[in-house]
Structure 1
Amino acid sequence: MSTAASQASAFYREIAESGVIWSIRDDNGFPAPLTFTGRRAMPFWSSESRALVVIGGVAAYHGFRPVAISWNDFRERWIPGLTRDELLAGINWSGSRAIGFDILPSDLARNVEALRNSG
């Protein structure tokens, strides 16, 4: 399993268990940088600690703070908004450049919901 695939697997499992998804923001809002594919992606993490590692380790995100979002709010409000704005969802970005797996918001919701419904 690739690093991105293992990060994605942990992401879905941890959110399904906790019912919380994490993002980061600063005074200008939530980041949505261009990815290598030329599309914008908003990053999300499955734990506050994962988000804090990126804030502390990636210069572009210094000054950001972690934000907890309940899974229900994310599913009902954020997924439609991300879809409307044609943003991808970045999953547990990591490393010195804060990169990882980017997917359609609807796929993120489907994958987490499948785990929540299976337990």
Structure 2
Amino acid sequence: MENSYSLNRQQFQAVSALAGHQRYRHFIGRVSDWQFVWGLRNEDGWVTASDSNGNLVSPFWPHPDYAIVCADGEWAGNSPASIEVRHFLSRWLPGMEKDGLLAAVFPTPTIQGVVVSPRQLKKDIEEELSRLE
């Protein structure tokens, strides 16, 4: 898929097995390097879920391959779609904050993503981007 780096099976499995905070750091690094965030969507819009506390969350991944393996169960029939990182920072995250949504960063089929506020996610990505510039 365009807008993504190449990912082999070994890398996919190794990164998927990382602890939540390590997947979070990987996500921040990759989306900053590649300038795209990935979500799952269908013709009705983007997927959301509830975390263990009942908060509405939007899941995001650093690569479409990680997203597609989560497109089963209640998310079956959805496909990965990219969001340019500057648009994600300027429009998506402020909009999510306004709507009371949290971000679920890099869930896997067996592990819930790291749930953070849109404000925290924006700060972490902006810090990484400023290091790269």
- TM-score normalised over the length of structure 2: 0.81
Residue in structure 2 matched with residue 76 of structure 1 by the alignment: 90
Give the Cα–Cα distance (whole angstroms) in 2 for the partners of residues 45 and 54 of structure 1. 10
Give the Cα–Cα distance (whole angstroms) in 1 for the partners of residues 44 and 112 of structure 2. 21
Q: Is the 8 A contact 2:59 2:113 kept in 1?
A: no
The DSSP-based 3-state class of the residue aligned with 2:50 is coil
Residue in structure 1 matched with residue 30 of structure 2 by the alignment: 14
Q: Tell whether 2:102 aligns with 1:88.
A: yes
Q: Which runs of 5+ in 2 are unaligned?
A: 1-17
Residue in structure 1 matched with residue 61 of structure 2 by the alignment: 45
- Partner amino acid, structure 2, of 1:86: G
Q: Which protein has greater RCO, CA pairs closer than 8 Å, 6+ apart?
A: 1
Per-residue deviation, 1:28: 2.2
Residue in structure 2 matched with residue 99 of structure 1 by the alignment: 112
Q: Tell whether 2:124 aligns with 1:108.
A: no
Residue by residue over 1:8-32, the C-alpha shift from the partner in whole angstroms, topping out at 9 and shown as x without a partner, is 0111000110010011112221122
The DSSP-based 3-state class of the residue aligned with 2:45 is coil
Q: Is the 8 A contact 2:97 2:118 kept in 1?
A: yes
Per-residue deviation, 1:6: 0.9
Give the Cα–Cα distance (whole angstroms) in 1 for the partners of residues 47 and 109 of structure 2. 17
**Equivalent pairs: percent with the same residue?**
23
Residue by residue over 1:53-90, the C-alpha shift from the partner in whole angstroms, topping out at 9 and shown as x without a partner, is 212xx322210011100001111110111001000001
Residue in structure 2 matched with residue 36 of structure 1 by the alignment: 52
Give the Cα–Cα distance (whole angstroms) in 2 for the partners of residues 69 and 28 of structure 1. 17
Q: Which runs of 5+ in 1 are unaligned?
A: none
- Partner amino acid, structure 1, of 2:92: W
